[in-house]
Amino acid sequence: MDALGFLETYLWLLGPMMLRYLILAWAVHGLFWERPRPFSFAKQLAAQRPKREHVWREAKTALAASLIYAFPAAILVDAFEAGGTGLYWRWPEGPLEWLWIPGAILMLMVLHDAYFYWTHRLMHHPRLYEATHRTHHISKQPTAYASFAFSPWEALIASWLIPAIAFVVPMHVAAFGLFIMIATVSAVMNHAGWEIWPRSFLDGPVGRWLITARHHNLHHTRFKRNYGLYFRFWDKAMGTDDMSGDPFVKA
């Protein structure tokens, strides 16, 4: 891998990565906060309308974090072009390979969720918090723009896992791309300050195991609880799943 070729790959990824974040965050934030009338199906979680300077700080921080996120992604892309990863383009052969497309997405979500829970909880340790996670928690009431507003150290911790898995686990490029889309949308929606799912679903047999804005918003407002990313399994297993103060329940 020559340095000039790697730099080209890095810049080729960085632009779309930043645009993906900005467009999605802008769209979600605009849909919920810039409309004259809020959606009837959504519940507002944020106590107050976000200020412009608040949003601008989150956006700048997230764009800076993209400089780090693009680095392992560029390593993965260059290795993929050289045939050195588990990713493949070929048409799936047989029903098992077709089933492995959603299976690979679920596998990535489970592994990412476990890694996120434990690193996230570790970054809340007093000795690590200031250097790693405090930047994200400046947003006591986050917006969609806070979804990737990480310090350099947190971005370094968070950015390498998924590319590393793609190096060793065979999966179709479509599965990998769909997972990235799910992860991005999930992060943006969980920081939006609005819950789009009805309480009947959230309290049902499926919803009670999923992390949505309702669950993650309490992490920002009440702090040392609700550390998970996609699923509430680790929070429930480790006793950190705490819905007290839930805005869906009247005091």
Residue range 151-172: mean pLDDT, rounded: 97
pLDDT at 178: 98
Residue range 71-79: mean pLDDT, rounded: 97
DSSP state, residue 91 = P
Distance set, CA 11 to CA 68, 101, 114, 124, 193 (Å): 12, 29, 30, 33, 32
End-to-end CA distance of the chain: 60
Residue range 119-134: mean pLDDT, rounded: 97
DSSP state, residue 234 = H
Residue 65 has pLDDT above 60, yes or no: yes
pLDDT at 139: 82
CB-count exposure of residue 107 (10 Å: 0-12, 13-18, 19+): middle
pLDDT at 40: 82
* Strand-strand pairing, 194-195 and 87-88: unpaired
CB-count exposure of residue 51 (10 Å: 0-12, 13-18, 19+): exposed
Q: How far is CA 211 from the centre of its chain?
A: 11
pTM over 0.85: yes
pLDDT band at 1 (very low <50, low <70, confident <90, very high): low
What Rg value do the Cα atoms of the chain yield, rounded? 19
Q: How many CA atoms lie within 13 A of 223 on its CB side?
A: 10
pLDDT at 116: 98
Distance set, CA 229 to CA 19, 110, 131, 175 (Å): 23, 10, 21, 19
Helix-strand-coil percent breakdown of the chain, rounded to 5? 65, 5, 30
pLDDT band at 99 (very low <50, low <70, confident <90, very high): very high
pLDDT at 251: 45
- pLDDT per residue as tens digits for the range 169-220: 999 999 999 999 999 999 999 999 999 999 999 999 999 999 999 999 999 9
d(CA 8, CA 76) in angstroms, rounded, equals: 13
Under a CB-based contact definition with an 8 Å cutoff, are residues 73 and 79 in contact? no
More confident residue, 56 or 224: 56
d(CA 107, CA 201) in angstroms, rounded, equals: 24
Residue range 94-122: mean pLDDT, rounded: 97
pLDDT band at 47 (very low <50, low <70, confident <90, very high): confident
CB-count exposure of residue 67 (10 Å: 0-12, 13-18, 19+): middle
Residue 143 has pLDDT above 70, yes or no: yes
Q: Where are the beta strands (DSSP E) in the chain?
A: 43-44, 87-88, 171-172, 194-195
Q: How far is CA 61 from the centre of its chain?
A: 15
pLDDT band at 250 (very low <50, low <70, confident <90, very high): low
Residue matched to tokens 């996609």: 230
With pLDDT > 90 as the criterion, what percentage of the chain qualifies? 87
